[in-house]
Amino acid sequence: MKTIKNIPNYLSVSRILASVSLLLEKPFSAVFFSLYLICGISDVLDGYLARKMNVTSKLGQLLDSVSDFIFISIVLYIYIPSMAFPLWIIGLIVIIVVIRVASLILGFVRHHQLTFLHTYANKATGLVLFFFPILFSIVGKEITATLICCIASISAMEDMLINMTSKTLNRDIKSNVSN
């Protein structure tokens, strides 16, 4: 029974392993996209199964957030050099990363723990980032990167605002309106 209870956490760990494995594969190859798909599917399933099986936990939330962070970091590490983005897009990405890191530091100082938040804006950012390869092939890298940067900027600023104003940590906060 305990193994079944831990399935969502195993899925988060599998995302970490698949994300790290992306570093070993040729970007945009069939194996790369297979691992990429595993990361996306595990991201959707871990939270869904945890809620459906009524086994949500702080460890599960943290594992999900850390695995998302590792996946996004590795994808950016792979995509940025291989896509030859214009300098202004790289600048936007750096600004977003600085805001996110500052928000995490602020949240850690205020709440004495990592404050990865599960907001709708963060979910939207993850979704458009996951679909980057498809969007890129349809509208091009600059439009796709601009769209992702706009959504990521909004979510980073929302995280910062929440971490600045929330009295208590609620990782599943949907917005800062009710807090």
Report DSSP state, residue 172: T
All residues at 6 or more sequence positions from 138 whose CB lies less than 8 Å from its CB, including other chains: none
Residue 22 tokens, joined? 């992306």
Sort 82 into a burial class: Cβ within 10 Å, 0-12 / 13-18 / 19+.
Answer: exposed
Residue 146 tokens, joined? 């601009």
Q: Which residues of 150-176 are buried (b: 16+ CB within 10 A; e: fewer)?
A: ebbbbbbebbbebbeebeebebebeeb
| pLDDT tens sequence across 147-169 | 999 999 999 999 999 999 888 87
| pLDDT tens sequence across 100-151 | 999 999 999 999 888 888 888 988 998 898 888 889 889 998 999 999 999 9
Q: How many CB atoms lie within 10 A of CB 114?
A: 15
Residue 17 tokens, joined? 């392993």
In the chain, domain spans: 1-67, 84-179
The string of DSSP codes covering 88-109 is HHHHHHHHHHHHHHHHHHHHHH
Cα 48 to the chain's mean position, in Å? 16
Q: pTM for the full model?
A: 0.81
Residue 177 tokens, joined? 């309106």
| pLDDT tens sequence across 95-105 | 999 999 999 99
Q: Which residues of 4-35 are buried (b: 16+ CB within 10 A; e: fewer)?
A: eebebbebbbbbbebbebbeebebeeeebeeb
| pLDDT tens sequence across 27-78 | 889 999 999 999 999 988 988 898 888 888 888 888 888 998 899 899 989 9
